[in-house]
Structure 1
């Protein structure tokens, strides 16, 4: 958000402020104040104006300026009502040298998941991509994916959804949760998908994009029928998307500043550890008990042939033989 516009919002949020006083306080013209007020109104902010001055009445439910207002994290937000892919847009910005930008959309028309799988992104969801330039080697990039899963899980739990994480980054709602919807009666249902993309060299990351897709205020009938999926609406009702997005970004920002804290935080919400799993990896199938996750996100599996460390793959939770 433009710095003066942010200062105008902060000032009028605390009560009526007369235009001349606001102009003097911010060292700009009264005409400039009026232009900023009108721009904020165009963005959906309700601003009253009377003899006492300007006063902020309400903040839009969603949108770039709305998310930036009150956000306690150093991100610039670029918002789209609809876009083919927030990850694609973030990659474009990365190629232009941008950093710490979050591309957010109400709807994606061409969203993709891992292995180029289609990802349904209807209006009412939260579809965002975080563009970073972290000063770490590429080998540590998986830690940012785990950080995104933790941040989203924490935001979901604050919203009342008992979310959990399946290795490495699927945020699910278990069928054993009291508030789980009928849609996930056949097992845990997916609430969030995360896709991380990177460009770099052997010793450095040029840019990193963490894409996060959240089934927020979405009807269950608008979600894919071929895989168990749920939404915040289906679990607990509609959420304030602006607040949810802010909390996610604030939690992610804290975690990215302290990568050593990511794996312990991930373990706290993990549904995979202690479970028998099957992991399809580039080197073949790994079956056994998931016993740990090591930095930056390696799954440790005890198999019949010994302990195996898995850095990438599709993980499936297996039911015990007696079920």
Structure 2
């Protein structure tokens, strides 16, 4: 959104403003003001005209301009009604040198999770991928996955959902010793031995989706707490993620506060075999520490984690 259009929105949000007054304040013509107002209407902002001038009466549209308006984070937004994969598009942007872009879609037709598992992403969910260029070594890259999980869980909790985090990349809702999956995170990276070139952090949230259409073991914001304003949800997620990435030392403590995995008996599938025991901690780089039945502590950097019922 250009600066003039943003300034008009901010002025209209405070109440009716006459076109001539807007033109004088912004140093543009009255015709330019009218064109900007029409463009805002085309972007689904509800701007009314009355005797006292223009007034913004609603800004809840799910679009790039609406998400950017009032966003407390330095991300530009690329919005798609439908796209194959927001992560694929984000990787294209990253390869072209982009930074701090949020690719958001109403639906994905080719979404995927870890290990290229299919991820259903119909209209009504929150599907987004963030392009980042952090000045960190590759060893710190997992912290961005944890930060995204924390940001997603916090946004869901603000929406009324008892969201927790299952290591390494799922946001869940606990239920009778088990859980239902609310959201997943997929992080992809390009870099060298000593530095990250770019990170793409993909987040998929079952937001305003009917539970009957979800896979077994999944849930949605709608099922847990009713429909959410997706524009506001994305804004909160982006703002929280931005705050966390600016303070990487605070990511793991924030993750621990919301962790559903710590203290649980788990089975973690790794390439070289499974680790079974009790999850006791995460390291400062985001690896899971498991105390096995033989009283050995094993640090797991990556793997599929399953929560087991108590023996």
TM bin, normalised by shorter chain, reads over 0.9
Match of 1:126 in 2: 126
Structure 2 Cα separation of the partners of residues 84 and 165 of structure 1 = 27
Residue 286 of structure 2, aligned match among 289, 297, 301: 297
Residue 211 of structure 1, aligned match among 181, 202, 216: 202
**Conserved 8 A contact 1:289-1:302:** yes
1:283 Cα deviation after fit: 2.1
Residue 277 of structure 1, aligned match among 266, 273, 292: 266
1:157 Cα deviation after fit: 0.7
Provide, for residues 244-291 of structure 1, a one-character-per-residue CA deviation record: whole Å limited to 9, x for no partner.
111111111110000000000000011111111110112211111111
Match of 1:179 in 2: none
Provide, for residues 46-65 of structure 1, a one-character-per-residue CA deviation record: whole Å limited to 9, x for no partner.
11112321110111331111
Match of 2:157 in 1: 157
Structure 2 Cα separation of the partners of residues 187 and 309 of structure 1 = 24
Give the secondary structure class of the aligned counterpart of 1:297. coil
Structure 1 Cα separation of the partners of residues 295 and 174 of structure 2 = 31
Match of 1:181 in 2: none
Give the secondary structure class of the aligned counterpart of 1:199. strand
Match of 2:299 in 1: 309
Does 1:68 find its partner at 2:59? Answer: no
TM-score normalized with structure 1 length: 0.94
Tell me how large the CA RMSD over aligned residues is.
Answer: 1.1
**Conserved 8 A contact 1:187-1:228:** no
**Conserved 8 A contact 1:174-1:187:** yes
Give the secondary structure class of the aligned counterpart of 2:178. coil
Provide, for residues 96-115 of structure 1, a one-character-per-residue CA deviation record: whole Å limited to 9, x for no partner.
11110101111000001000
**Conserved 8 A contact 2:60-2:229:** no
**Conserved 8 A contact 2:101-2:131:** yes
1:305 Cα deviation after fit: 5.8
1:187 Cα deviation after fit: 3.1
**Conserved 8 A contact 1:122-1:222:** no
Does 1:136 find its partner at 2:139? Answer: no
Does 1:259 find its partner at 2:233? Answer: no
Match of 1:112 in 2: 112
Gaps of 5+ in 2: none
**Conserved 8 A contact 1:194-1:212:** yes
Does 1:47 find its partner at 2:38? Answer: no
**Conserved 8 A contact 1:48-1:54:** yes
1:69 Cα deviation after fit: 1.0
Match of 1:268 in 2: 257
**Conserved 8 A contact 1:279-1:315:** yes
Residue 187 of structure 1, aligned match among 178, 199, 213: 178
Match of 1:81 in 2: 81
Residue 221 of structure 2, aligned match among 207, 232, 235: 232
Structure 1 Cα separation of the partners of residues 59 and 197 of structure 2 = 36
Structure 2 Cα separation of the partners of residues 32 and 276 of structure 1 = 63
TM-score normalized with structure 2 length: 0.97
Structure 2 Cα separation of the partners of residues 310 and 127 of structure 1 = 28
1:31 Cα deviation after fit: 1.9
Match of 2:174 in 1: 174
Q: Which runs of 4+ in 1 moved over 3 A?
A: none
Structure 1 Cα separation of the partners of residues 276 and 16 of structure 2 = 64
